[in-house]
Amino acid sequence: MDSDTPVVPPLAALALAVVAVSTSAILIRWSRAPSSVAAFYRVLFTTLLLAPVAVVRYREAFARLSMRDWLVAASSGLALAAHFAAWFESLEWTSVAASVTLVQTQPVFVALGAAWLLEERLNRRIVVGIGVALAGSVLLSVGDLLSGGAFAGSNPLYGDALALVGALAAAGYVLAGRSLRQRLPLIPYVIVVYTVSAIGLLVWTVGQGASLGPYPPREWMLFLAMAVGPGIFGHTVVNWALAHVESSVVSVTLVGEPVGSTLLALLLLGEVPPAMTAVGGVVVLVGIVLTARARPNP
């Protein structure tokens, strides 16, 4: 999958990935299992589905990993676990539109983290993009609050805050694993990161006292759907695309997820976002695009 001449056009693969990840929030909402359990099984099943390919084709890649590589991968995996734990829980408290839009502010936090940790310069366009995204986040949260909870969830501000924590953790996942992903083929990279993430989510789930089973067949089908759709055809394809397309293009393309998720929530869940929430969401997406397009490609 890491060939210099990909069989599948990268932009077509990204379009498929956006559709796949757009289903994630809907599948989570349909599940009646605790959010931590759903997050754990999503990552676990994604790992198990990819493991045979890793064992058969990439044994030497694992053998070449240094201790530092393992530590970097572990850090990336724990950040990914925190992302899933926060975001899955966010959907318990706020609207799909708000949660998915806010969790996609990851490029804003990546830009800030790169400036702080990697000493990347924040140019004027990045600062403007960050400012626009933050202003949109405020509008979105105020819109949720003023809606009276009709479609905003039982505690929208708490849910919105969790979505932002999820975005911050996702930025940590990207920053921690960026150098390793450039040196390691896709499948070994995601296997190591997903395995650590699954372990982190398992500890979190057990620590909360949530039951790992038994669950009815419907729940297991939803867990599997989360792994196959958003997991493999979504985020794993996005990771593959990063080897063939500029990171700024990938970040901008993923802005389609909140749009797709909001439309699916409207059609399948009957969630109609309040006017101010919708306006705030659009402003956030504009800020994400401005930030992503202004950043240099790694």
Q: Domain for residue 39, yes or no?
A: yes
Q: Domain for residue 1, yes or no?
A: no
Q: Domain for residue 4, yes or no?
A: no
Q: Domain for residue 110, yes or no?
A: yes
Specify the pLDDT at position 204. 95
Q: Domain for residue 264, yes or no?
A: yes
Q: Domain for residue 2, yes or no?
A: no
The first and second tokens of residue 21, run together, are 């990840």
Q: Domain for residue 5, yes or no?
A: no
Domain count, the chain: 1
| Residue spans of the chain under pLDDT 70 | 1-6, 118-120, 144-153, 246-249, 292, 295-298
Specify the pLDDT at position 152. 55
Cβ proximity of 264 and 41 under 8 Å: no
Q: Domain for residue 230, yes or no?
A: yes
Which domain, by its residues, includes 21? 10-294
DSSP letters, the chain, are: ---SS-SS-HHHHHHHHHHHHHTHHHHHHH--S-HHHHHHHHHHHHHHHHHHHHHHH-HHHHHT--HHHHHHHHHHHHHHHHHHHHHHHHTTTS-HHHHHHHHTTHHHHHHHHHHHHS-----HHHHHHHHHHHHHHHHHHHHHHHTTTTTT-SSHHHHHHHHHHHHHHHHHHHHHHHHHHHHS-HHHHHHHHHHHHHHHHHHHHHHHT-------HHHHHHHHHHIIIIIIIIIIHHHHHTTTS-HHHHHHHTTHHHHHHHHHIIIII-----HHHHHHHHHHHHHHHHHHHHSPP-
